[in-house]
Structure 1
Amino acid sequence: MPKQIEDQKKILLRVRKISGQVQAIERALIEQKNCDAILQQICAARGAMNGLMHELLEVHLKDTLVVNQSSEQERSEELQNISKILKSYLK
């Protein structure tokens, strides 16, 4: 979780918006809306998830690698962890 209160608020706001988008997709499916509209909502939710990933990654890097007083070894390990996450994300 982000360490700065401002960052926490921004991340939670993004998650709440995504939740609303997913709920809208569910409602559209239940109401048997047009597939084009549902696909467009899915694209929007995917874009929002990508934005969340970017924002959280940026905050994490700042909190962990820049602001934090960590050793070279700790930074190297964290970089490896982030690299694994990004590889998984980009599959």
Structure 2
Amino acid sequence: MYVMTLTKSDFEAFKELIKVTLEEQTETFLATKEDIKHLPTKDEFYSKMDEIMGELKATREEVVMFSDLNRKVNDHDERIEKIENNCVILFLFT
């Protein structure tokens, strides 16, 4: 196996290569104003989120209300069915 030692110029070339590579990577990771101009500001974002959360809260409250109403309707159906059955029984015995 042949081992070659690195010279100072090899280290400098390697150092320059790393520097160029890091600069290219930095350019790809940093966003510019042009890149983010389509995004909303913090205030716009939070005001829209407040609006959406308000709608979500109202929707959840409606779901709770309708589920309770559905329970009451089902309870009434059962009661009406019992009353109808009792009326049929009374009619048959009279």
- TM-score greater than 0.5 by the shorter chain: no
TM (norm. structure 2) is: 0.39
Q: Is the radius of gyration larger for structure 1 or structure 2?
A: 2
TM (norm. structure 1) is: 0.40
